Amino acid sequence: METLSAGGKIARFFFAWVLLFLIWLMFTSTLALQEVLTGAGVSFIIALPTNRFFTEVQLYRFKPLRLFYVIEYLFVFLWALIVANLDVARRVISPKLPINPGIVSFKTKLTSDFAKMVLANSITLTPGTLSVDIIDDTYYIHWIDVKSLDPEQCKKDIAEQFEKILLKIF
């Protein structure tokens, strides 16, 4: 974890505050003055002890172009999620239960913890794979239908499409 300057800490606090406040606004879905003021107060109090859990990413690294890749990523991800569900459905329904499970490993080029977490979560929600562990830069993935034990091939099959975009975002 990077150590933050005082300014970074304040930015981090404001990030948490604004995020919590936005969630409050979405849940109450009203702009009545009472509600908004209460929300601002409550999210301020919650942000005080919890802001260090919200982000480890330095906020000044935010660039508008990244937002475009985030949207691209969301579409790739949603498509993969639907494919994953159809895949699971096919395996569950078919009487023979066509599975060949195993745990494979591969290395990633991503460096930041946050990016690794996003990749791990995406892997879990895409066809036939479930991330079991990340040790430094090595992923251990439970694969319901192992096609190859070679790390390079595994990576190509499982993670390539996400990692390409994530490398651009982070």
Partner 1 sequence: MNDILDIFGMILLLIGGIFLFLGGLGIFRMPDTYNRLQAGTKATTLGGMSVILSVGILEPGWFIKTLVLVIFIALANPISSHALAHANYKRGNKPYLKGGPEYDQYRKVFEPEVKETKDNTTEKVKEEETA
- Alpha carbons within 13 angstroms on the beta-carbon side of residue 65 total 6
DSSP state of 105: E
Mutual orientation of helices 160-169 and 113-124 as an angle, nearest 10°?
150
- List alpha helices for the chain, DSSP H: 6-28, 33-54, 64-93, 113-124, 151-158, 160-169
Cα separation, 45 vs 41, in Å, equals 6
| Euclidean distance between CA atoms 22 and 113, whole angstroms | 25
The verdict on 128 binding partner 1 (CB under 8 A) reads: yes
Does residue 159 contact residue 115 with C-beta atoms inside 8 Å? no
Tell me: does residue 51 bind partner 1 (CB under 8 A): no
- Considering only 34-42, 55-63, 121-129, 157-165, which stretch makes contact with partner 1 by CB under 8 A? 121-129
Q: Applying CB under 8 A, does 3 fall inside the site for partner 1? A: no
The residue from 103, 107, 109, 153 that contacts partner 1 (CB under 8 A) is 103
In the three-class reduction of DSSP (H, G, I as helix; E, B as strand; rest coil), residue 101 is classed as coil
Q: Which of residues 26-45 bind partner 1 (CB under 8 A)?
A: 26-27, 29
Nearer to partner 1, 8 or 142 (CB): 142
Select 108 or 122, whichever has its Cβ closest to partner 1.
122
10 vs 117, beta carbon nearer partner 1 = 117
Q: Which residues bind partner 1 (CB under 8 A)?
A: 23, 26-27, 29, 81-82, 84-85, 88-89, 91-93, 97, 99-105, 120-122, 124-125, 128-133, 135, 140, 142, 144, 146, 149
